[in-house]
Chain A
Amino acid sequence: EVLLVESGGGLVQPGGSLRLSCGVSGFTFSTSWMTWVRQAPGRGLQWVATIKGDGVQQDYVDSVKGRFTISRDNAKNSLFLQMNSLRVEDTAVYFCARGAEYWGDWGQGTLVTVSS
């Protein structure tokens, strides 16, 4: 069974940092592209970042470039999203998902709230 479990969300002040994690099992993580997608409260879905299986290639939505970093630890079957210089508009549920182009396996999400 494929399982993805996010953690690390919480309340942070504007300008602060947070690191999200996604632990996975049930598939070969090291060869899988992985993605973060977010959803602001009551809003639609937004692609955030994607990373190749070997970690060499990453891509980001323009609004987070230079502030967010996607990374992975294949030895620990874990995906990360380091979020710096957080803004109020980054408030959202963050989902990790397997794949590069479309996503058939998702975690349950972790809520990030950016507020003073």
Chain B
Amino acid sequence: EIVMTQSPATLSVSPGERATLSCRASRWVTANLAWYQQKPGQAPRLLIYGASTRAAGVPARFSGSGSGTEFTLTISGLQSEDVAVYYCQQYNDWSPAFGPGTKVDIK
């Protein structure tokens, strides 16, 4: 079983500043890593797959990087509508697993 961890648990960022979210896998997952955004009362929204490919319609301020066991989601120029919980998810084996999430809010 691959266990995903995320840090920090909560991130407060000023509007227009950069938010950097980290995700770590307990085993090698190559680039089989996705990121989701979830706002209260809503379903998750796919942001990134393949560690760095933006999903359709996702603004360019969202970018993903990393491979192997260490991954990063960067929000360049935080906007108020970006307040949400962000989850990473590995799909390298047949038991997909999510991280516990990072809550991003406005400072």
Determine if A47 and B55 form an interchain contact, defined as CB atoms under 8 angstroms apart.
no
Determine if A46 and B98 form an interchain contact, defined as CB atoms under 8 angstroms apart.
yes
Determine if B95 and A61 form an interchain contact, defined as CB atoms under 8 angstroms apart.
yes
Extra pairs beyond A45-B87, A104-B56, A108-B43 (8, CB < 8 Å): A44-B87, A45-B36, A45-B38, A47-B98, A61-B95, A101-B32, A104-B55, A106-B45
Determine if B89 and A102 form an interchain contact, defined as CB atoms under 8 angstroms apart.
yes
Q: Which residue of A is nearest B32, CB measured? A: A101
A-side contacts of B42, CB under 8 Å: 108
Q: Which residue of A is nearest B50, CB measured? A: A102
Whole-angstrom distance from the CB of A7 to the nearest CB of chain B? 15
Determine if A104 and B46 form an interchain contact, defined as CB atoms under 8 angstroms apart.
yes
Using known A-B contacts A101-B32, A107-B43, determine if residue A47 contacts B49 with beta carbons closer than 8 Å.
no
Measured as residues with beta carbon below 8 angstroms from the partner, the interface class of chain A is: 10 to 19
Query: Can you list 8 A-B contacts with CB-CB less than 8 angstroms, sorted by A residue number?
Result: A44-B87, A45-B101, A101-B32, A102-B46, A102-B89, A102-B91, A106-B44, A109-B43
Whole-angstrom distance from the CB of A39 to the nearest CB of chain B? 8
A-side contacts of B91, CB under 8 Å: 101-102
Using known A-B contacts A59-B94, A102-B91, A104-B55, determine if residue A44 contacts B49 with beta carbons closer than 8 Å.
no
Q: How long is the Cα–Cα vector from A109 to B41 in the complex, in angstroms?
A: 9
A-side contacts of B32, CB under 8 Å: 101
Q: How many A-B residue pairs have CB under 8 A?
A: 48
| Interface flags, A88-116, vs B, CB<8A=1, else 0 | 00000001000001111011110000000
Q: How long is the Cα–Cα vector from A101 to B90 in the complex, in angstroms?
A: 8
Determine if B49 and A45 form an interchain contact, defined as CB atoms under 8 angstroms apart.
no
Q: Does B68 contact A (CB under 8 A)?
A: no
Determine if A106 and B43 form an interchain contact, defined as CB atoms under 8 angstroms apart.
yes
Q: How long is the Cα–Cα vector from A59 to B95 in the complex, in angstroms?
A: 8
Q: How long is the Cα–Cα vector from A74 to B94 in the complex, in angstroms?
A: 23
B-side contacts of A106, CB under 8 Å: 43-45
A-side contacts of B97, CB under 8 Å: 47
